[in-house]
Amino acid sequence: NAGVTQTPKFQVLKTGQSMTLQCAQDMNHNSMYWYRQDPGMGLRLIYYSASEGTTDKGEVPNGYNVSRLNKREFSLRLESAAPSQTSVYFCASSARTVLDQPQHFGDGTRLSIL
């Protein structure tokens, strides 16, 4: 049982390059989320998908786009990477809304933008 799988685990980009972070879950969860974690801070929500076919902005959506490809997969795209987007990115999923269900996290993608 893999849970939430993120690829790649590490990536270095140059400013202006584009990149798609991949996330897949095998728990048949309805909701999926993308967060970023910066040093000394908690996770900040970038985008979420409450269910297949829907996506919504979180706290820090600028500079990112997402696609809920199907129930299993939720990708995060940086169209033109900037140094301020250097961070650790986490994907998570939950069975329904977070009102009553915990979130399950992947192990993160460590992204450096030079």
Provide the binding-site residues for another protein, judged by CB under 8 A: 4, 31, 33, 35, 40-45, 48, 50, 56, 58-59, 90, 92, 97-100, 102-108
DSSP states of 53-65: T--EE-S--TTEE
Q: What is the smallest separation between the CB atom of 107 and another protein, expressed in angstroms? A: 5
Whether 97 and 56 have beta carbons less than 8 Å apart is answered as: no
Q: What is the smallest separation between the CB atom of 92 and another protein, expressed in angstroms? A: 8
Residue 38 or 79: which CB sits closer to another protein? 38
Distance CA 79, CA 55 (A): 17
Residue 28 or 100: which CB sits closer to another protein? 100
- CB atoms < 10 A from the CB of 44, how many? 14
